[in-house]
């Protein structure tokens, strides 16, 4: 992963239009990776569970706290945290392995 100073130097050399295009591309990659994971959960009959924890994966969607999720889904704290951790890992891998055209 690039260092922060490398990223800031790179972003300085890009025009606002290029930055916008890169951001839009990254959001598209994230959305496609989320859709892939969601479809896997739906295939197992757990689409509602994925929807409930999705906000903990990306911070782009409001979500309920872990305590409420535990009560709603009958999971203990460790199992819930592990599931979210594994989903984050799979989200990174899915996005990195995707065949997405570069901006």
pTM here? 0.70
Please report the pLDDT score of residue 77 as a whole number.
92
Q: In this predicted model, what pLDDT tens digit does every residue of 12-46 receive, in sequence order? A: 688 888 888 888 888 888 888 899 999 999 999 99
Number of domains forming the structure of the chain: 1
Q: What's the domain range around 71?
A: 17-93
Check: CB of residue 11 under 8 Å from CB of residue 19: yes
Q: In this structure, is residue 42 part of a structural domain?
A: yes
Q: In this structure, is residue 8 part of a structural domain?
A: no
Check: CB of residue 7 under 8 Å from CB of residue 89: no
Q: In this structure, is residue 55 part of a structural domain?
A: yes
Q: In this structure, is residue 1 part of a structural domain?
A: no
């Amino acid at each position: 992963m690039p260092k922060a100073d490398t990223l800031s130097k790179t972003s300085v050399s890009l025009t606002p239009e290029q930055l916008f295009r890169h951001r839009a591309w990254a959001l598209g990659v994230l959305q496609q990776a989320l859709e892939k994971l969601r479809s896997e959960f739906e295939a197992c009959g757990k689409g509602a569970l994925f929807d409930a924890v999705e906000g903990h994966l990306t911070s782009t969607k409001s979500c309920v706290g872990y305590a409420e999720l535990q009560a709603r889904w009958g999971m203990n704290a460790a199992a819930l945290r592990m599931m979210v951790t594994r989903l984050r890992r799979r989200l990174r891998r899915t996005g990195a392995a995707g065949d997405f055209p570069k901006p």
